[in-house]
Amino acid sequence: MLAGLSFREFLQFTNHAEFEIISVAEIIKNHRDLSRMISDKLRPLPAFRKYLDVGYLPIFIEGEDSYLLKLNQIINTIIDSDLAYIVSYNSGTANKVKRLLGVIAESVPFKPNIAALARKLDLSRDSVYQYIYQLKNARLLNTLSSGGKGVSTLQKPDKIYLENTNLAFALKEQPDIGNIRETFVLNQLLNAGMEVNSPNAGDFTIDELTIEVGGRSKNTSQVKHLDNYLIASDNIETGGGNKVPIWLFGFLY
pLDDT digits (tens, 9 = 90+) for 144-157: 998 765 555 567 89
Structural domain boundaries in the chain:
7-65+178-251, 67-171
**Number of H-type helices and E-type strands within the chain:** 9, 6
Average pLDDT estimate for 115-137: 91
% of the chain with per-residue pLDDT over 90? 77
Q: Say if CB 172 and CB 165 are below 8 A apart.
A: no
Q: Say if CB 101 and CB 75 are below 8 A apart.
A: yes
Question: What's residue 63's pLDDT?
Answer: 94
Partners of 61 in beta bridges: none
Determine the distance from the C-alpha atom of residue 79 to the mean position of all C-alpha atoms in its chain, rounded to a whole number. Answer: 19
Question: What's residue 248's pLDDT?
Answer: 98
Partners of 51 in beta bridges: none
Which of 9 and 92 is assigned the larger pLDDT?
Answer: 9
pLDDT digits (tens, 9 = 90+) for 87-121: 678 888 899 999 989 888 887 688 889 999 999 89
Q: Does domain 67-171 have CATH number 1.10.1740.10?
A: no
Contacts of 219 (CB under 8 A, 6+ apart): 231
Question: What's residue 70's pLDDT?
Answer: 97
Partners of 55 in beta bridges: none
Q: Distances in Å between the alpha carbon of 49 and those of 37, 69, 76, 246?
A: 19, 19, 25, 12
What is the Cα–Cα distance from 250 to 40, expressed in whole angstroms? 17
Strand 141-144 to 159-162 pairing: antiparallel
Amino acid at 152: S
Question: What's residue 148's pLDDT?
Answer: 60
pLDDT digits (tens, 9 = 90+) for 166-219: 999 999 989 999 999 999 999 999 999 999 999 999 999 999 999 999 999 999
Sign of CA dihedral 102, 108, 109, 111: negative
What is the Cα–Cα distance from 17 to 242, expressed in whole angstroms? 27
Q: Say if CB 42 and CB 19 are below 8 A apart.
A: no
